[in-house]
Amino acid sequence: MSDSAFQPTRPIAYGRQHITPADVQAVTETLYSDYLTQGPKVAEFEERFAAYVGASYAVAVANGTAALHLCALALGVQPGQRVITTPITFSASANCVRYCGGEVHFADIDPATALIDLKAVRRLLESHPQGYFHGLIPVDFAGLPVDLEEARKLCTEFNLWMIEDSCHAPGGFFTDSEGQEQWCGNGQFADLAIFSFHPVKHIATGEGGMITTNRRDLYEHLLRLRTHGITKDPAHMSRNDGGWYMEMQELGYNYRMPDMLCALGISQLERAAAGLARRRQLAAYYDAAFAATPGVRPLAGAAGHAYHLYVIQVADRKGLYDFLRTRQIYAQVHYIPVHTMPYYQSLGWQPGDFPRAEAYYAHCLSIPLFPSLTDEEQQYVVACIREFVGQ
Ligand SMILES: *Cc1c(COP(=O)(O)O)cnc(C)c1O
């Protein structure tokens, strides 16, 4: 037994949503309103979310994957174009390039942070002629913000666009070379940033996503692409047959986020800062506990870390994963390196291509971290991990 007398009354997963009566009321009010989709809650959620991350514009979409797809379309990814991302991410970060027929390339990670190593990106860029690559998709993995100022320098030097995959990091920031806090998704360095509202993410609406940007041209294009490529703005139409008239001007999609889910998002957003503060508090407790636990190595922290995940590395990861399950603790692995997925292997990537990502994968485990995790539950998680590693 663990050295704690505490026994969990519910399974403890690595992450979970937190729904309050205020959330339920917000959704119910919208259900009884005139709009289930494309009503006033969409624009309200967009405005509030843009303000939360410090960007000029936001576009709500069906989910984070749709957000990535629309970003790749808006940036003009075409067959044959090459885009660089990290192998340690959810496949969707890479797949958006494939949806548009582009080629995905990878740069290995920095083992201390598990973030894409910008020095490896530079080496990759320098080993090919100018114009060989078209874009970069850095990922704020686990909630640790990528240094986008450095990434922007590379993008400018090599003429790349940049999409920040910030699904893990709403509210996160890094400190730039002038000492300014730069918030994830604020559009200062990346052309576009994307977020997801999947239930394990900071803001949970079931399905849902957001794109943020400071570029008005991209913003207007994304609004059209989200709704079939249709415009209803007379200023942008080739003719006007009457009040009903609209024009489909390019091939778009139905990637809209419904009003009732935007209402839930608005309600969740009001608690986002408090949830982030709790995540940081829980992470600080884990940091202190594992500093005194040889055999458990957490990933590096940072002041602006948004702590979507708390990742530890242990020698016997599979053993610990299985052991925790017997104790009702459902840890998870983030991520199986994308280039080792059979689909990407069918495109020519192979195990061994990115050794640091693969070494990280062999030992990583994401342990429970979510705002409603109680102190007792967290102490129980620590006790079980210590028991396994032999403390
Ligand atoms: C969750 C996630 C996505 C995809 O978001 P969905 O809303 O599930 O489509 C993309 N990238 C990263 C890093 C994610 O964590």
Give the closest residue (by CA) to ligand 1 atom 3.
64
Q: What is the pLDDT of residue 2?
A: 47
Phi, psi of 321 (to 5 degrees): -55, -50
Domain boundary assignment for the chain: 12-17+272-389, 21-269
Q: Which residues of the chain have pLDDT under 70?
A: 1-4, 391
The CATH number for 12-17+272-389, chosen from 3.30.420.40, 3.90.1150.10, 3.40.50.150, 3.10.310.70, is 3.90.1150.10
- The architecture CATH gives domain 21-269: 3-Layer(aba) Sandwich (3.40)
Q: How far apart are CA 309 and CA 204, in angstroms?
A: 15
139 CA: nearest ligand 1 atom: 13
Using the mean position of ligand 1's atoms as its centre, give its distance from the Cα of residue 288 in Å: 30
Q: Is 366 helix (H, G, I), strand (E, B) or coil?
A: strand
Q: What is the pLDDT of residue 4?
A: 54
Give Cβ neighbours of residue 205 (< 8 Å, ≥ 6 apart): 197, 257, 261, 262, 264, 265, 268
Give the closest residue (by CA) to ligand 1 atom 4.
64
Q: Rounded to two decimals, what is the model's pTM?
A: 0.97
Give the closest residue (by CA) to ligand 1 atom 5.
64
Q: Which residue out of 68, 198, 307 has the highest number of ligand 1 atoms within 8 Å of its CB and is therefore the one to mutate?
A: 198
User: Please, how many CA atoms are within 13 Å of residue 151, restricted to the half-sphere of its CB?
Assistant: 26
Give catalytic status of residue 201 as yes or no: yes
Q: How far apart are CA 17 and CA 296, in angstroms?
A: 27
Of the residues 119, 153, 201, 318, only one is catalytic, namely 201
Using the mean position of ligand 1's atoms as its centre, give its distance from the Cα of residue 68 in Å: 9
Widest Cα–Cα separation across the chain = 77
Using the mean position of ligand 1's atoms as its centre, give its distance from the Cα of residue 96 in Å: 11
Q: What is the pLDDT of residue 5?
A: 78
* Sheet arrangement for strand 364-367: 297-298, 310-313, 364-367
